[in-house]
Amino acid sequence: MSRSQYILKKFGWALLTIALVLILNFFLFRVLPGDPARAGVHDPRLKKESIEAIRVRYGLDKPVINCFETLNPVKVGSCSVNPLDTQFFIYMKNLLSGELGISYHNNRPVATILAERLWNTILLIGAGQILSIIVGAFFGMLAAWKARTSIDYGALATSLVVWSLPTFWLGIILLFWGSANGLPIGGKATPGLSSYPLWEQWKDIGRHMILPTLTYTLVYMGEYMLIMRSSLLDVLSEDYILTAKAKGLGIFQILRDHALKNAMLPLVTIIAINLGFTVAGAVQIETVFSWPGLGGAVFEAVNRRDFPVLQGAFLLITVTVILANLIADLMYSYLDPRIQAE
Amino acid sequence: MKQKVLYLFMALALLIAACGGGGGDATTEAPDATGAPSSGPVVVRIGWSGSPDTLNPGAAVLSESYTIFELVYDSMYELNLDGTFTLSLAETADMSEDGITWTFKIRDGIAFHDGTPLTAEDVVFSYLLYQNTEGYPWMGSYTSYFENIEATADNEVVITLSEPIPNIESQLVFLYVLPKHIWEGEDPVEFENEAMIGSGPFKMVEYRQGEFVHLAANKEHFLTPPKVDEAIFQTFETPDALVQAIKTGQVDMITEMPATAVATLEDDPNVDIYVGAPFAPTVTDIIFNQIDPENCPTEEEGGICTGHPALRDRNVRLALAHATDKQKIVDIILLGNGGPGLTLIPDGLGVWYNDSLTDYEFDLAKANKILDDAGYLDADGDGIRDMPDGSRSLTFRMNWPSDSVDGPRLAELLSQMWGELGIKTELQAMDPDALTAVCCPAFDFDVMLWGWGSDPDPSLLLSVMTTDEIPTGSSETGYSNPEYDALYAEQAVELDFDKRVETVWKMQEIVHDDVVYVIPYYDPNIQAFRTDRFTGWITDEAKIEFSDTSSLVVIEPVK
């Protein structure tokens, strides 16, 4: 199979997966119990007419799809309605035209909400990812090079411990520690600084990032370290490394020119998968530190039956995960030409 | 080529890492956590766990939104912490002899934050907007008695009612006056109202959903110009963060905190804690499905009515009331921060609360005797009492909303307490929507643990026990008593305040006698402020609400 065929095939699968997820997303939220027009609001002041008006506004008065009025409770309806006038087709049509709808809860366009949140999440989780990759990969290399020494065992034990710490718990501990040391513990920025010079604002955001980024880095670096270490150990036992040593090359040169590239493959896989989930945000970290990211938005939307936000967020997450995997697939074919040949 | 891509990738990673690291470095210096230099504006920082759902007063549902509306907008009346009303935008309010026509004179010289004068036109525009927009969840119920609203002069509004009502203040108090020149032509539901031009004691500076609300003082306010320069509400999503934030001085006040955190802050010399009824008091209730099959809503209305027949017997409900140790519940769930409840009307409603009633004392022997005498004996010897005719055992389903923090503990405690009587309970938490579906008007449950938020006027909570509300889904118990219904109708048109109070007290007596609900407690609001930052918080009223206008306009920085 040629490279272009390989790429085309991968693209095809990615598109198909996205299409399936879109359809699944729609039904997933419709089989949840409850009426989003009430969203748990139980109040005599909420009049029947108001509920009806809310239903009409969000198109909830229309049948879910031909033959079904609602899916939970299952209520069979007429099968002969115009399919274009069902919630399913309106949803598909809107998605294809890039229309994500209006949040049931916040009365704002979903696209605006997600865009705000996405940027915050990328900022926080991006920094956390990069730091954890660098720290993890570095200690992984060090441990592999110094295999079976106290450095190796120390790094191994540390990464196993931090990797298995519950994120929420670690976050709370760091929150207590950080607040005692004068670090901000909530939000992305100190409110009310918008009239300050830009660099002051950035400094402020940086301060707010310390604790959540630290939590993220600690939790994730262990994984990278372990993978880097074991894959580099494999490579270092190869004959050509021995040859390189015999030629008298220095440590750094052997690692850079001979070992690292071959040891990168498993790490790239993990990074690609994790990068995809970056967009989903680390719900727990965002909650502990009140970080206004995507994870928090999803959490809140679940609680409030905010289907448009959930659909939008799930779409975004799906697309990024699939794209990240696609990129990883393509990277493999560069890192290891044997892969595309299968 | 392949190598280049790899290096490019790694270089990129390093570059981004360098930037990220740089951000981290800059942070180690200047720990100016609370911003504002001493010479700058006086900013009061408030920590809370929520955030407004929208700044559109018609479309909003959450109480956080109403907190902000109270600060940024004005309405005809101001609701005080003791439950009384005072005139706000209106200088005078005159009722006609028959109670149908109300004439309000608007004060002179009031302006919106953008400088436009506030006139009778704006008032009429706002009231009509609230009345005519069907997509507004609450507003329709506050304007339902208005037959005609018109501006008879630049500063005069005349409201004609469909019938005389005794509580026009509580109808008008949440009808915020909006600037016509801004709202005209906007879609009333979809308008996000981000600039939020009002006339209140604070004006909107910046709003970030889920992050903060930044307000500045309106020093020109006609009634209550604030002494501080700015107020900032910041959202903290976990209670631990909220408590740490006030402990370390990142905020000056917190509007809520869990009872479990009281011990942490109690010893702090710079923090004072206050427990009291919140601005909109809330009630936690134990609901008995006691609907008479005759009153069951029709199939079309959604009635199923599968409630346990024993709960229709007052003796059983009375025994359960005697077997409920409210003090223990308060001690365990609220850690002693609060007191036992009585009826659905909470003490936070001040004068409307009937404090002359004596509650059923906790007395297991008495409870057992009531059940024995009524014939609920354990016929088959399995340790669970049975119906007098032996048809089924006293096994009750007990449900509560899964998002309730206290629900599981309350259910567990009740299950133990009632178990002592030989009554079995099957506990199950339910999603709030699913709970609504089995609750009402389906009446497909036995016992439910839930709650109500209250209006300042008792009418709202009194209405949920009337027969009329059974098919609408507002009645959770299915309770029906013609005497009570008649009194409800009477108080709804009683213009004499004292007489109305008397009727409302009588109604509480009736539902207490009939054991319609058992009310374990009224939810307290636990708040705290830093004593070293601001002084003047109002701490001696029936309700304690530091985020209310009343406190925020009078507090001053500690010298």
Fold of A110-341: MetI-like fold (1.10.3720)
Q: Give the confidence band of B10 by pLDDT, cuts at 50, 70, 90.
A: very low
Residue B448 near residue B520, CB atoms below 8 Å: no
- What mean pLDDT value characterizes chain B? 90
Which residues in chain B touch residue A305, judged by CB atoms under 8 angstroms apart?
Answer: 433
Q: Within an 8 Å CB–CB cutoff, is residue B24 touching chain A?
A: yes
Find the closest chain A residue to B5 by CA distance.
A334
Q: Give the confidence band of B39 by pLDDT, cuts at 50, 70, 90.
A: low
Q: Give the confidence band of A140 by pLDDT, cuts at 50, 70, 90.
A: very high
Inter-chain contacts counted by CB atoms under 8 A, chains A and B = 214
Residue B116 has pLDDT above 60, yes or no: yes
CB contact under 8 A, A186 and B21: no
Q: Within an 8 Å CB–CB cutoff, is residue B209 touching chain A?
A: yes
Where are the domain boundaries for CATH 3.90.76.10 in chain B? Answer: 77-183
Where are the domain boundaries for CATH 3.10.105.10 in chain B? Answer: 282-522
Structure token digits, residue A88: 């399913």
CB contact under 8 A, A33 and B26: no
Residue B75 near residue B88, CB atoms below 8 Å: yes
Which residues in chain A touch residue B433, judged by CB atoms under 8 angstroms apart?
Answer: 33-35, 38-40, 305
pLDDT at A3: 75
Q: Give CA–CA dist A168/A287, Å, rounded.
A: 9
- List the Cα angle B512/B513/B518 in 5-degree steps: 40
Cα separations in angstroms, B76 against A19, A312, B171, B454, B544: 54, 41, 10, 20, 23
Which residues in chain B touch residue A201, judged by CB atoms under 8 angstroms apart?
Answer: none
Long-range contacts of B9-14 (CB under 8 A, 24+ apart): B9/A331, B13/A130, B13/A133, B13/A134, B14/A134
Of A45, A105, A187, the CB nearest to B235: A187
- What mean pLDDT value characterizes chain A? 85
Q: What is the pTM of this model?
A: 0.87
Which residues in chain A touch residue B136, judged by CB atoms under 8 angstroms apart?
Answer: 50
CB contact under 8 A, B2 and A335: yes
Nearest-CA distance from B15 to chain A in Å?
10
Residue A106 has pLDDT above 80, yes or no: yes
Q: What are the tens digits of pLDDT across the range B503-542?
A: 999 999 999 999 999 999 999 889 999 999 999 999 988 7
Q: Within an 8 Å CB–CB cutoff, is residue B61 touching chain A?
A: yes
CATH no. of B77-183: 3.90.76.10
Q: Give CA–CA dist B387/B364, Å, rounded.
A: 19
Q: Within an 8 Å CB–CB cutoff, is residue B194 touching chain A?
A: no
Where are the domain boundaries for CATH 3.40.190.10 in chain B? Answer: 13-73+200-270+531-557
Nearest-CA distance from B458 to chain A in Å?
13
Question: How much is the ipTM here?
Answer: 0.87
Residue A160 has pLDDT above 80, yes or no: yes
**DSSP 8-class letter at B111:** B
Nearest-CA distance from B53 to chain A in Å?
5
Fold of B13-73+200-270+531-557: D-Maltodextrin-Binding Protein; domain 2 (3.40.190)
Q: Domain boundaries in chain A?
A: 3-96, 110-341
DSSP string spanning B379-422? Answer: TTSSSS-B-TTSSSB-EEEEEEETT-SSHHHHHHHHHHHHHTTT
Q: Give the confidence band of B470 by pLDDT, cuts at 50, 70, 90.
A: very high
Q: Give the confidence band of B473 by pLDDT, cuts at 50, 70, 90.
A: confident
pLDDT at A341: 53
Nearest-CA distance from A153 to chain B in Å?
27
Q: Give the confidence band of A33 by pLDDT, cuts at 50, 70, 90.
A: low
Structure token digits, residue A239: 């004959």
CB contact under 8 A, A54 and B403: no
Residue A118 near residue A316, CB atoms below 8 Å: yes
Of B13, B214, B474, the CB nearest to A44: B474
CATH of B282-522, one of 3.40.50.2020, 3.20.20.330, 3.10.105.10, 3.30.465.10: 3.10.105.10
